[in-house]
Amino acid sequence: MKKRTKFYALLLAMVLSLTQMIGAVVPVKAATKECSHGYTLVNGIGIRMHECGDSVCITCYHGHDKRVVIPKTFKLNGKTLPPSQFDSDNGFSENGVKEIVLPDTVSSMGYWDEEDVEDGNIGFRGITFYVHKGSKAEKAVKRHNPYKYLKDNTKPQPVKGTTIKRAVRIEKLAKLKWKKVKCDKYEIRYSQKKNMKKSKKVTCGKNKTSLVIKKLKKNRKYYVQIRTKAGKKYSAWSKVKTISKR
C-alpha cells in the first residue's frame, strides 16, 4: 500500500507540474475595450478597420475633452495602422469638443453624399480642425469645415558643405581638388580679393572633385572658396583657400 500511495503522489505531482508549465506558455489575451456602439475604444475614440485593411476609421468619440488630438497610429487586430477617415461626427460636437488635431493621413471626413453637404448635414459644428499645410487632412476639411495650420517645429536640415583640399598654381592655371560629398552641384568662386569682391563663379556637377581655373593673371595672388547645393538650398561657403602667385 505504501508503494502504491507513493506512486499516486508522484503521479499527482507530475500532473500539477505539467499543468503549471502549460499555463505559463499559453498567454492570456488582454480584453479589448469596446464602446457602446460595439467599436474598439482607444482613449475615448472609437475605431474600426478600414475596408482595405491598411488603415483605421474614426467612428465615434466618448470623452469630454475640449481639444482632441487624433493619434498618428492605432493598434488594432495586432497591427499598427494610421487613421484615414472619419465615419461621421458621432459624439465629437455632442460632447463639447471645440478643436480636433488631425494627423496628415486623414483623407476623408465622412460626408455621405452631396445632398448632405447641401443640406448642411456635415456635422462637426463649432469645431475647428488643426492640420499641416499641404497635407491630405487639409484637403479633407478645407471645403466645409473651419481649420487652422499647425506650426511645423521641425528644423530644416542644413546642407553639408565641403572643403578645398589642394590648390596648385601653374603659371596662368590653378588646379583645385575638394572632398566629395552628397549633393546636386558644387559652386566655386575665386577672386583677387580675400573678401571675394568681384569674384567669378564656376559650377560643377555632383560627381566632380577637381577643377582647372584658366586665364589667371601672372604674379597675382587669388583666393578661392567652394560650397554645395542640394535642391534649392546651399551650404555655407568653405574657408578661403589661397592660390599662390606665379
Give the list of residues 6+ apart from residue 128 with CB closer than 8 angstroms, or none.
98, 99, 100, 145, 146, 147, 148
Neighbours of 160 (CB within 10 A): 11
Tell me 47's DSSP state.
E
Secondary structure (3-state) at 147 = strand
Q: Quick: pLDDT tens for 118-164.
A: 555 556 888 999 999 999 999 988 877 889 999 876 666 788 999 99
pLDDT of 22 > 60? The answer is: no
pLDDT the model gives residue 113: 46
pLDDT the model gives residue 72: 94
Q: Quick: pLDDT tens for 47-65.
A: 999 998 999 999 999 999 9
- Nearest Cα neighbor of 190 from 140, 124, 245, 240 is 240
pLDDT of 76 > 80? The answer is: yes
Cell of 50: 478600414
Beta bridge partners of 236: none
Largest Cα separation within the chain, whole Å, is 119
Cα(224)–Cα(56) distance, integer angstroms: 57
Amino acid identity of residue 141, one-letter, is V
pLDDT of 24 > 50? The answer is: no
The pTM of the full predicted model, rounded to 2 decimals, is 0.52
pLDDT the model gives residue 151: 82
Q: For the chain, first and last CA: distance in Å?
A: 115
